[in-house]
Structure 1
Amino acid sequence: MTKTRIAILRKQRGWTQEKLAEESQVNTRTVQRLESGEDASLETLRLIANALDVQIADLFESLDDSDKSKEIINLDSRKAKQTQQWLTIRSFYRLGMYTVFIVLMFTLLSAVSLLNDDSWIGLIGIIFWIILWPLGVSVIKIIQVSWIEPYLSRKYPMAENPKSVYKRQDSNNLEIQKKSHSWLWILGILLLVIGIGCVLVFLPLLKIIF
């Protein structure tokens, strides 16, 4: 390996060595040693790279054919793979929750429509149904932040900060973009259409029963 670019990347962000140490959860002396060209463990390099939102290989001006360089390239590849898995699974869970929520809301609307004989009760039901939309979306976001994302972070500990993954390309010049999850959106839309269709079919049966 050759001279590191850590100092350059740090200064581009306007960070001091102390700030980089804080963001990467290493001590300031470690940052100083790295910037002076001393060696470090792959885990330390990974923490620094995560804090700077770059691949580990980007911390160096170039990589040679040494075993350490090969380990860095392999680690970057694993990191990119886990990040893509993290994003894909999160999208799947989120689409699943929104699909179930929307189907339940339309089912509730069909039940409220049965109360149209009583205008006041029906009006209250519609108002309650409208209020449930932002509440439901908020609950889904809470579940995503409090449960799904921590679970995925434990399952894929090498996954990169998802906020930065769309801003650049990885070491193999393969950009991870939202369009890679388009098939999940198609699946979600199909499930939504099927759910609404079931509600429309079920609605006449409810009116007959009640």
Structure 2
Amino acid sequence: MELDQLKNIWDQENISETPEISTEKQKEIHLPLEKIRKNMRMEFWSTAIVFFLIILFFVFKDMHIFKFKVYVITLVSAQMLVTSFYFFKFFNLYKNLSSVNLNTADNLKDLGYQFKLNEQYYLSFYLSFVPFVVCEMLLIFEFTPSLKSIQGFDFILIFLGLCIFTLLLLYFVGIWWFKRYYGKYISQITQIKKNLKLI
């Protein structure tokens, strides 16, 4: 083929460009996005303060059983390591949300993928606390005199019942928290994307 024929074929093809998003729609998206950022800051600082207070409590509390104090401090430290990992991911999302460019449909789709990824991080974060909850229950039953006397089948029922109740509570609080502070704003952004016919 000659060069002119190739140019003609190229010109005849419909090359779809990435659709631009109007400034008005970008502003519409920025409002829920800013609320998500604000809630992320609030969650970060509130979690940091709670962990700091818990650490202070267990470090300075005079516990009669040294072994119990070592177990508790080790458990809380492990929880902090896991939480630090997830907050690192959380911080990366926060940075991405702060510098996101919403002028094309591809960028908006990428933002949707980031939200999905963050939702998965939330789920895995709460699942990662399952062994911690079980260990905490074991410590409570082992070092609380009134509970230590429970033996046999009663122990199994009460222990499993408390573990399941605590894990279900953690699960439902996690779902409620995500929907309340992030889910409704993500839904607003998704609705704007639908109105723009980008998804």
TM-score (norm: length of structure 2): 0.36
Q: Which structure has greater helix proportion?
A: 2
- Say which structure, 1 or 2, has more relative contact order (CA 8 Å, 6+ apart): 2
